């Protein structure tokens, strides 16, 4: 039997708490029984308390802002799970669209995957700036004042007790001020802005209006990091954590800024704390894996990338970086499998094809390597490293002309790359073009004067060109730079110098 229910569950991103609380206060003042998780219950209570209270209420009001769906591509995201549960339990779903939210925005549309794809089909209510009371009146009179056949599930004793405590806390909260709502508007404008200068201005204004706005400090930190102001970013993250010590996102962001300043120890501490606070934070595992990789701690890096993949199986970047860790550790088979999976998930990544090409070359699959480098170049025609690597693979396969073409293109794209000149010098030497090879080696040395291999190669070329004096000078330069070379190799070079001196 249909009847009008006055029970409401408010689903919202905690960033938007002032708006949620203002809606709670308006609805409760008109006799509605409302639950909004004002006390931010522990994640362990999510199923028993939060979803229990959702199923016990007829109406599901979800607050949608430009930032609200940001983390909904994570299968374990609480807001996503709330929306999915409301869809499954056939609640009366009312999307409230605030501060310019638009389902058609590409960044928003990309989050509406799986069950969430149908959310845009629901009749939403726009809440224009400055017309909040009027929007609440429409919400009550048109969107909630409908007869329903909702099957309400009585909450458990635990869920009901938690709801009463949460409702008392929300009801005792002071009325939301216009200044707090204005701060929310500035925050969302900052999130929606493309220009970093505008983002900085908006977040700063949000903080001015609401000095305890932890999320605004966190997002301003992200903007400052993008502008290269690492000290300012770290300061903002610290303030966010002072205001919200449980904000795992701020720990993750501060860790990233610290790693960019070279403080890997501090970064690892912050990533670990982010994971402790939120064991489902796949991004923190990915980032910590990168920090371990930078330190050369390969087993720890592989472990973190593996956990990140478990939490987010479609994350191509985690597969890509685990492949790097595995190949660095000599596990070419595992690296090849990871690169192939990363390509399946993200076929447009030139870097992943390039990485797989390097592994195939190391494993002896020269043809496969050439194909992968070709794919990388097709996706990114201005990729000098891919041209150099394909040139090396072509040279290995005996295609010296093809190798020369690739090296020449790499030099055109990146004229200050000493490696491109060095490798082209080898190819020219193989072709018998001694003068061209000498020119390339000399240019390589000009660009990188501390490269002993270039001096050694040029010495061989001088010897072929019957210039023993120049060859001796280059071999002596090689010996000064190659202190770490094997003793037998150094002895061979010294012997060659003695032989060349006899020709002068």
pLDDT given at position 504: 81
466 φ/ψ sector (left φ>0, alpha ψ -120 to 50, else beta): left
What's the rounded Cα separation, in Å, for the pair 27 and 371?
63
pLDDT given at position 72: 87
Q: What residues pair up with 127 in beta bridges, in sequence order?
A: 98
Identical fold between 3-176 and 348-449: no
| Contact (CB, 8 A) for 49 and 159 | yes
CA 79 and chain centroid, separation: 20
Look up residue 302 and give its two tokens.
């592989």
CATH topology of domain 3-176: Rossmann fold (3.40.50)
pLDDT given at position 126: 93
Full 3-state SS string of 350-372: HHHHHHHHHHHHHCCCHHHHHHH
CA 359 and chain centroid, separation: 24
pLDDT by residue, tens only, the chain of 504 residues? 577 889 999 999 988 999 999 999 999 999 999 999 888 766 567 677 889 999 999 999 999 999 999 888 777 788 999 999 999 999 999 999 998 888 888 888 888 888 999 999 998 999 987 889 999 999 999 999 988 877 777 888 888 888 899 899 999 999 999 999 999 999 999 999 999 999 999 999 999 999 999 999 999 999 999 999 999 999 999 999 999 999 999 999 999 999 999 999 999 999 999 999 999 899 999 999 999 999 999 999 999 999 999 999 999 999 999 999 999 999 999 999 999 999 999 999 999 999 999 999 999 999 999 999 999 999 999 999 999 999 999 999 999 999 999 999 999 999 999 999 999 999 999 999 999 999 999 999 999 999 999 999 999 999 999 999 999 999 999 999 987 778 888 889 899 999 999 888
| Residue 203: count of CB within 10 angstroms of its CB | 28
**Domain locations along the chain:** 3-176, 348-449, 466-504
| Contact (CB, 8 A) for 230 and 260 | yes
* Domain at 348-449: CATH code: 1.25.40.10
The torsion angles phi and psi of 147, rounded to 5 degrees, stand at -80, 135
pTM: 0.84
């Amino acid at each position: 039997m249909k009847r009008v229910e006055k029970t409401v569950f408010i689903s919202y991103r905690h960033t938007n708490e002032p708006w949620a609380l203002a809606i709670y206060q308006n609805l409760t003042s008109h006799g509605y029984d409302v639950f909004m998780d004002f006390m931010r219950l522990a994640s362990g209570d999510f199923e028993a308390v939060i979803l229990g209270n959702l199923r016990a209420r007829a109406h599901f009001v979800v607050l949608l802002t430009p930032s609200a769906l940001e983390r909904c591509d994570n299968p374990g995201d609480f807001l996503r799970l709330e929306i999915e549960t409301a869809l499954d339990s056939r609640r009366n779903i009312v999307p409230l669209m605030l501060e310019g939210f638009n389902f058609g925005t590409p960044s928003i549309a990309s989050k509406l995957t799986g069950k969430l794809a149908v959310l845009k089909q629901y009749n939403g209510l726009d809440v224009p700036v400055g017309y909040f009371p009027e929007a609440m009146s429409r919400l009550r009179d048109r969107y909630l004042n409908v007869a329903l056949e909702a099957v309400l599930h009585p909450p458990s004793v635990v869920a009901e007790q938690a709801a009463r405590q949460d409702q008392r806390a929300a009801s005792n909260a002071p009325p939301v001020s216009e200044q707090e709502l204005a701060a929310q508007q500035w925050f969302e404008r900052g999130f929606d802005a493309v220009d970093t200068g505008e983002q900085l201005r908006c977040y700063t204004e949000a903080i001015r209006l609401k000095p305890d706005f932890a999320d605004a400090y966190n997002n301003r930190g992200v903007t400052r990091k993008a502008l290269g102001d690492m000290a300012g970013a770290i300061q903002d993250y610290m303030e966010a954590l002072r205001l919200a010590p449980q904000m795992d996102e701020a720990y993750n962001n501060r860790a990233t800024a610290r790693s960019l300043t070279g403080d890997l120890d501090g970064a690892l501490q912050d990533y670990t704390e982010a994971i402790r606070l939120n064991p489902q934070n796949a991004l923190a595992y990915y980032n910590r894996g990168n920090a371990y990789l930078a330190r050369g701690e390969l087993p720890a890096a592989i472990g973190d990338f593996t956990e990140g993949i478990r939490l987010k199986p479609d994350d191509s970047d985690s597969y890509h970086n685990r492949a790097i860790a595995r190949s660095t550790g000599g596990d070419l088979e595992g690296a090849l499998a990871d690169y192939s999976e990363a390509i399946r998930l993200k076929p447009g990544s030139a870097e992943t094809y390039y990485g797989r090409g390097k592994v195939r070359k190391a494993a002896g699959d020269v043809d496969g390597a050439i194909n992968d480098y070709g794919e990388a170049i097709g996706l990114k025609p201005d990729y000098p490293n891919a041209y150099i690597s394909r040139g090396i693979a072509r040279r290995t396969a005996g295609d010296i002309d093809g190798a020369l073409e690739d090296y020449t293109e790499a030099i055109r794209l990146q004229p200050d790359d000493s490696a491109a000149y060095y490798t082209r010098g080898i190819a020219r030497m193989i072709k018998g073009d001694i003068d061209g090879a000498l020119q390339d080696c000399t240019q390589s040395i000009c660009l990188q004067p501390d490269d002993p291999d270039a001096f050694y190669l040029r010495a061989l070329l001088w010897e072929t060109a019957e210039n023993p004096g120049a060859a001796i000078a280059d071999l002596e330069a090689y010996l000064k730079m190659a202190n770490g070379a094997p003793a037998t190799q150094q002895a061979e070079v010294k012997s060659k110098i003695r032989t060349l001196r006899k020709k002068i």
